[in-house]
Amino acid sequence: MPADFGGWFERVIGVFRRSWRTLLIFQVIVAVLSAVYSAVATSFSQNMIALSNDLGPEFDPATGPPPGLVAAGITAMLIGLVGGVVIGLVIAVLTPATVFVVIRDAVGQPASLAEALRFGVSRMPAMIGWGLLAMILTGIGFVLLIIPGIYLSIVLGATLAGVVAVERTGIGRCFALVNPRFWPTAGRLVVYFLIFVVYYFIANFIASAIGGGPLSTMTGILLSILFIPLGIASAGVTVVTYAELRFRENGVVTTPALAAELAR
């Protein structure tokens, strides 16, 4: 296990070297779904704007909006809901599948794509349940005082995927792992977050320049593609951080031990 930040970073790069092929497939799946969702949502948004502009100054609010605008609004909301659910379900499968792939590759026991997806499906219900609870708690934390939201983002972002996939437990276990090593864990995630933000703005600039503006369909598609490396990097950060915390808690829990837990 890595002894310092340099070792941690080296392990994250190692995930890229070993597991990029399978992780690329997972991220392409998410990118395609996101691109389709973005294209459809942008199309309906532009349609609603056009319908709103057609109302003209003679529009009387007392009579209510025209049926076409109401129908477009309802359709846009349904698309947003259905698209969000579909992408959420796919991510709930691919997140534990990613943990499975990274750990198996690390111990020299590469898993097939089918094995990884079967594992992901087996953990999907737990991932959905704990993931939704994590989102709600983090959201409440940000709304209340911001700092609790940041704290929960660090604790749950660092360990929830590993806890659900490997240990088959829940949120309480995340706190037990992170709290004794909170500041080193926070430091690692903050560094990655800064890299993420820089890459995000560069990707947005490139996509907007090529796609013809921040709200165009082409820009949304390009962003989905450009964000693929971020998804792979996030997988490495998540699994390596979780593995490091397990080792710090108990020195006998090395990567082979984590692989054995996956197989039980």
pLDDT in tens, 73-90: 677 778 778 888 999 999
Q: What is the pLDDT of residues 208-236, one digit of tens each?
A: 888 877 767 788 788 888 999 999 999 99
Predicted TM-score of the model (pTM): 0.87
Q: How many residues does the chain have?
A: 264
d(CA 184, CA 177): 12
Residue 56 sits at φ, ψ, to 5 deg, of: 75, 170
Region class of 262: left (phi > 0), else alpha (psi between -120 and 50), else beta: alpha
d(CA 7, CA 5): 5
Instruction: Return the H-helix or E-strand segment holding 108.
Output: none
Tokens of 199: 């890459």
Q: What is the pLDDT of residues 89-132, one digit of tens each?
A: 999 999 999 999 999 999 999 999 999 999 999 999 999 999 99
Decide if 15 contacts 2 (C-beta within 8 A): no
Question: Quick one: pLDDT at residue 39?
Answer: 75
How many CA atoms lie within 13 Å of 23's alpha carbon, on the beta-carbon side? 28
